[in-house]
């Protein structure tokens, strides 16, 4: 059975240039922090390996680093966010976080514990053309320059990514919904 497309979102890339990354993945669920921009959209990747006479390539299943808001933030102008349950990778400033519940992007300009599981972030709200909204307690916040590669393969890995703009005032999409 084929999936039914119910809506399509067209967008213009706002002067953004996709990049192809080549990296060496050391182990299953290896990760990388992208320092070339405050965040990326991961379009796809594959890991290629050869063991004895067996040659394989595996589609990478990426996930972003994550943390949770520790306490609700009602005011949309608040620029300090307390977090916990962060993945234990050193975060590289500046970086974008994405609240998947409200679809707000925020640029993190300060992180008092860049490798810690909990702490306080200083953010620019409503980044990349999103709207600043109230943040619920335990809201998921995804770190957009921290990528986990989930396949079981290790070895040479190619990935296609779209670096996000450094200026948080740049709108990410000029969107129009087409049926």
List, for residues 84-110, the tens digit of each pLDDT value. 999 877 899 999 999 999 999 999 999
Task: Work out the burial of residue 90: count CB atoms within 10 Å of its CB; fewer than 13 is exposed, 13-18 middle, 19 or more buried.
Answer: exposed
Over the stretch 20-76, which tens digit does the pLDDT of each residue have?
Answer: 999 998 888 888 889 999 999 999 898 888 777 777 888 888 899 999 999 999 999
Cα–Cα distance measured from residue 88 to residue 54, given in angstroms and rounded to the nearest whole number: 34
For residues 5 and 179, is the Cβ–Cβ distance under 8 A?
no
Q: How many Cβ atoms from other residues are within 10 Å of residue 175's Cβ?
A: 11
Cα–Cα distance measured from residue 56 to residue 122, given in angstroms and rounded to the nearest whole number: 43
Q: In this predicted structure, what is the pLDDT of residue 152?
A: 84
Torsion of the alpha carbons at 94, 19, 141 and 96, rounded to the nearest 10: 20
Domain boundaries, the chain: 19-165
């Amino acid at each position: 059975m084929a999936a039914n497309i119910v809506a399509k979102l067209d967008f213009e890339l706002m002067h953004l240039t996709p990049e192809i990354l080549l990296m060496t993945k050391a182990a299953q669920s290896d990760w990388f922090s992208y320092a070339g921009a405050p965040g990326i959209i991961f379009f796809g990747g594959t890991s290629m390996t050869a063991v004895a006479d067996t040659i394989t390539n595996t589609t990478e299943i990426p996930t972003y680093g994550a943390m949770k808001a520790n306490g609700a933030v009602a005011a949309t102008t608040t620029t300090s966010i307390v977090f916990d349950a962060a993945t234990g990778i050193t975060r590289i400033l500046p970086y974008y976080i994405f609240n998947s519940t409200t679809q707000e992007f925020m640029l993190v300009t300060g992180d008092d514990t860049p490798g810690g599981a909990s702490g306080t972030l200083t953010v620019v709200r409503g980044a990349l053309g999103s709207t600043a909204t109230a943040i619920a307690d335990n809201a998921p916040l995804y770190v957009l320059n921290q990528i986990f590669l989930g396949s079981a393969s290790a070895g040479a890995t190619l990935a296609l990514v779209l670096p996000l703009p450094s200026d948080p005032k740049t709108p990410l999409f000029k969107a129009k919904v087409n049926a």
